[in-house]
Copies of this chain bind each other. A is one copy, B any other.
Amino acid sequence: MNAVSEAAQAPRGRATAEMVAEKARVSRVAVSRAFNPHASLKPEKRELILKIAQELNYTPDRAARALVSGRSHLVGVIVPDVCSHWESQEIDALTTALQNEGFATLLFKTRTDYSMDEQLLAYMRGFNPDSVIAFVENVKPRTLARFLDRAVPIYVHYPHTGMAEEGEAEGPLHDRLNVLQHDGIDQAVALLQGYGARRIAYLSGLDKSRASHAREQTLRRVMAERGLPPPVVAPGDFSYQTAYQATIDLFKVGEGADAVFAANDVAAFGVMDALRHELGLRVPQDVKVVGFDDIAQSHWKSYNLTTVKFDLDERVRALVRLINRRLNNPGAPGFQETLNTRLVVRGTVG
Q: Does A92 contact B (CB under 8 A)?
A: yes
**Given A62-B126, A126-B60, A300-B273, do A88 and B95 touch, yes or no (CB 8 Å)?**
no
Q: Which residue of B lies closest to A58 (CB)?
A: B122
In the complex, A146 Cα to B58 Cα: how many Å? 10
Per the 8 Å Cβ criterion, residues 171-197 of A in contact with B are none
Contact A104 B104 (CB under 8 A): no
Q: Do A62 and B127 touch (CB < 8 A)?
A: yes
Rounded to whole angstroms, the CA-CA distance of A63 and B272 in the bound complex is 50
- Give A115-155 as 1s and 0s: 1 = Cβ < 8 Å from B's Cβ atoms: 00011101111111000000000000000011101000000
Question: Is A104 a contact partner of B102 (Cβ separation < 8 A)?
Answer: no
Pair B104/A106 contact, Cβ less than 8 Å: yes
B83 touches A92 (CB 8 A): yes
Q: Which stretch (A25-33, A65-73, A160-168, A333-341) binds chain B?
A: A65-73
- Spell out A's residues near B (CB within 8 Å): 12, 14, 35, 50, 53-54, 57, 59-67, 72-74, 81-83, 85, 88-89, 91-93, 95-96, 99, 102, 104-109, 118-120, 122-128, 145-147, 149, 240-241, 244, 269-270, 272-274, 276-278, 296-297, 299-303
Task: Add 18 more A-B contacts to A53-B122, A88-B91 (CB < 8 A).
Answer: A54-B118, A59-B123, A59-B125, A59-B147, A63-B67, A63-B72, A63-B128, A65-B126, A82-B82, A83-B89, A83-B296, A88-B88, A95-B107, A106-B106, A240-B296, A272-B302, A274-B301, A302-B303
A and B contact pairs by CB, cutoff 8 A, 29 listed: A12-B146, A14-B149, A50-B119, A50-B122, A53-B122, A57-B146, A59-B123, A61-B126, A62-B127, A63-B63, A63-B66, A63-B72, A63-B126, A73-B126, A74-B127, A82-B82, A82-B88, A82-B92, A83-B91, A83-B296, A85-B85, A99-B108, A104-B108, A106-B106, A240-B299, A241-B299, A269-B302, A273-B300, A278-B301
